[in-house]
Amino acid sequence: MPSSCAKRLPGRPRSDAARTAVLEAANSLLSEVGFSRLTMESIAARAGVGKATLYRWWPSKGAVAMEAFLAAVSPKIAFPRTDSAVADITTQMLRLAEAYRGTTGRIVCEFIALGQADPEILAAFLEGYMFPRRNAAKEVLGRGVASGELRADVDLDLLVDALYGPIFHRMLLRHQPLDEAFVRTLSALVFAGLARR
């Protein structure tokens, strides 16, 4: 039977162009009005699709907002891959701090704040954003252990907390600048005792 006559599965396929339009619309609105004022109606209107289309692809505004946020921010805070795990982590920390000084930081703060009263928002933030970032950082640090750059007895979860906790602290409280000098000093301080002798 020719491929053109092949039986199609039920339901309309997700259009890549429409999906891209929805994610771009959701991310723009997230930046402009924040998550709490974001609505499925406003996303659909800006993307030029029906609201039913959104609900067919995403179960809630939280789901589409998180996917849109991740699609926009992930390339900006990606981990490089060189011969040095310490250099890769430091570069990524600098990228993260730069993003957190702008709109991305404001959105992350809002997700964290809203998540304190809404378990679904917190779960979406942790599962969609936080845990994958932690796992990526641990993978880089694991390479450093395997190559001999870092001590073999290092606790990777604790190390991630030591490196990234202060960045979140300054982003949330804004009591001190989240600048390049701070990130480089932080990285040097944390890694100082971890080099394999």
pTM of the model: 0.86
Q: Which two tokens stand for residue 99?
A: 């993003």
Q: Which long-range contacts (CB under 8 A, 24 or more apart) does 22-28 make?
A: 22/47, 22/49, 22/53, 22/54, 22/57, 22/64, 22/68, 23/64, 23/67, 23/68, 23/71, 23/72, 24/68, 25/68, 26/64, 26/65, 26/67, 26/68, 27/68, 27/69, 27/71, 27/72
pLDDT at 14: 55
**pLDDT tens digits, one per residue of 94-106:** 999 999 999 999 9
The CATH homologous superfamily for domain 14-66 is Homeodomain-like (1.10.10.60)
CATH topology of domain 78-191: Tetracycline Repressor; domain 2 (1.10.357)
Specify the DSSP element, H or E, that contains 145. helix 131-147
pLDDT score of 197: 58
For the chain, domain boundaries: 14-66, 78-191
- 14-66 and 78-191 agree in CATH topology: no
Q: Identify any residues that bridge with 195 across adjacent strands, giving them in sequence order.
A: 150
Rounded distance, CA 66 to CA 30, Å? 10
pLDDT, one tens digit for every residue, the chain (197 residues): 444 444 434 444 558 889 999 999 999 999 999 999 999 999 999 999 999 999 999 998 888 999 999 999 999 999 999 999 999 999 999 999 999 999 999 999 999 999 999 998 899 899 999 999 999 999 999 999 999 999 999 999 999 999 999 999 999 999 999 999 999 999 999 999 897 65
pLDDT score recorded for residue 6 = 40
